[in-house]
Structure 1
Amino acid sequence: MPTKLTIPDLAEKKRSGERLALLAVGEVLTAAWAERAGIDIVGVGDSIGMTLYGHENTLSMSMDQMINHTRAVRTGAPNTMCIVSMPYGSYATQEMAILNALRLMKESGCDAVKLQGGREKFDIIKAVADAGVPVMSQVGLVPHQVHKFGGFKMQGRTAEAAMKIIDDARAIEEAGAMGIEVEALPYEVGKAVDEAVSIFTAAIGAGSACTAQILNGYDVLGAFDTFKPKFAKRYANMAEIAIKAFSDFREDVASGAFPDEAHSYQMKTEEAERLAEMLRETQR
């Protein structure tokens, strides 16, 4: 059984330079696979709005949905640290952020929550941290601002933009957050963000400098094949395997090959004979 990481462990991993694997999952089966594989952290991101619900972006996910999915993930991976994303609109004010962060911790079984934003979210991050909730935030490509960015695009292309992102990271640490997600940045910027703070950093498409590397579990499996971000590495092709399995099932049904005797229940011979006799009696 794996030893579940704690929040203080993350700070120690940052200091020691140890690398961690963080996998985003959204239901019990994939979460169980992640834990059996020894994944260090599972994240329940509102990206499940895209991978599991087929939405265009992450904005439509609700608190109730995030809680229910996190409960399922916690069931599948009870011994793995779990960080859950606060959905869009759930941390618009300090009061709202505190109430929703506490609700996520109480009802979902998660170990920490994550919101999105830098210096402009300083007061909100601080309020959640001061309420006793382990909280992360996010810099770089911030999916809750997808319309502002004009799509899911790499950030930090210029030195000026990079300096703004680094300042956001410092503000997140100053606010009392325990970690930062760093998304879709040039390697140089991701490295500068990691070096600018002493707290845990987790990169997704931001180079190799951070303490943890994040990938979406459905990208890793090759199950989500609607599109593939540049930074996503597929380690399997589950979509192809699943489509073939479903196609073979359909063909077996059409041909009568399924169900066969091996996949059917049978009565005991004497009971089958008694049933046949009873049916004959009803026809007389």
Structure 2
Amino acid sequence: MTTINTIQKKKGIEKITAITAYDALFGRIFDSYVDFILVGDSLSQSFGGHKDTLAIGIDEMIYHTKAVCKGANQSLIVGDMSFGSYQNETMAIKNAVRFYKETQAGAIKLEGGSARAKIIQSIIQEGIAVMGHIGLMPQFARSEGGYKIKGKDDQSITQLKEDALALQEAGVFAIVLEGIKSEVATEITQMLTIPTIGIGSGANCDGQILVWSDAFGFFTEFKPKFVRRYLEGEQILKQALQAYIDDVKAQRFPSQEESY
């Protein structure tokens, strides 16, 4: 069974692989193939149909994390803390403890750098493993006027490095680097002793993660630059669905062997 220690020992030795999942079915399919499964608040968009990740709440995140945990028992499960669930230390600890008590997740993930370091440290002191997340942070996209790549100027680069070091000092076991210029993500990866997990941040991070519906072609409204599609899932599923419909209409299904 993969643990946070397993993840940390891979730094500089072997690339870490991760994918998102939101239910027991896909948790079971992805289990043991990837090092960790993130129950991401991206489910607000790919599962719930919302325009951003802000609509999802802590109850829903816990529900989906519990479901994934029922399907997966080898890969490390990491659950996202939803927008508004860790605005202060008291709230953050309460919701993080609830996450651990109600699910079998091995860790939780929070967005934010230096400004959230004290909150994250307090959660870790309660015995809860935390994965950090800096760079392009989807929970901040609306307030920033959209999804903006980070690390384009000296001020941004300095802040990213300060954020990464602050989170490492706070005790996170790994950090997601999202939407960061690849050369900056490389520098951050080299300066940290903990693993970095990239998404849209180049190939030199210690690992990579993608949203499953992006990677496998089930979310087709748009395709971010950093996504590689490994399957045209929507197209294949629609073809299979049409074959089923055709068989029903032509009375080819069910056959005698498929009937009681």
Q: Where on the TM-score scale, by shorter chain, does this alignment land: which range?
A: over 0.9
Higher share in helix:
1
Q: Distance between the aligned counterparts of 1:228 and 1:102, measured in 2?
A: 36
2:188 is matched with 193
1:64 aligns with 2:59: yes
Secondary structure of the residue aligned to 1:147 is coil
Contact between 2:7 and 2:35, CA under 8 Å: does it hold in 1?
no
Amino acid at match of 1:39: V
Moved more, 124-133 or 108-117: 124-133
Q: Distance between the aligned counterparts of 2:41 and 2:127, measured in 1?
A: 23
Unmatched 5+ residue regions in structure 1?
A: 266-284
Secondary structure of the residue aligned to 1:180 is strand
2:42 is matched with 47
How far is the alpha carbon of 1:244 from its aligned partner?
1.2
How far is the alpha carbon of 1:240 from its aligned partner?
0.4
Secondary structure of the residue aligned to 2:177 is strand
Q: Distance between the aligned counterparts of 2:196 and 2:14, measured in 1?
A: 12
Contact between 1:220 and 1:236, CA under 8 Å: does it hold in 2?
yes
1:152 is matched with 147
Q: Distance between the aligned counterparts of 1:217 and 1:181, measured in 2?
A: 16
Contact between 1:221 and 1:238, CA under 8 Å: does it hold in 2?
yes
2:17 is matched with 21
Secondary structure of the residue aligned to 1:153 is coil
2:178 is matched with 183
Deviations 1:175-211 (A, max 9, x none): 2222211001111011112122211211111112222
1:166 aligns with 2:161: yes
1:275 is matched with none
Matching residue within 210, 225, 235 for 1:230? 225
Q: Distance between the aligned counterparts of 1:126 and 1:73, measured in 2?
A: 26
Secondary structure of the residue aligned to 1:113 is strand
1:259 is matched with 254
Q: Tell me the TM-score normalized by structure 1.
A: 0.87
> Matched residues, percent identical?
35
Q: Distance between the aligned counterparts of 2:238 and 2:116, measured in 1?
A: 44
Q: Distance between the aligned counterparts of 1:127 and 1:152, measured in 2?
A: 29
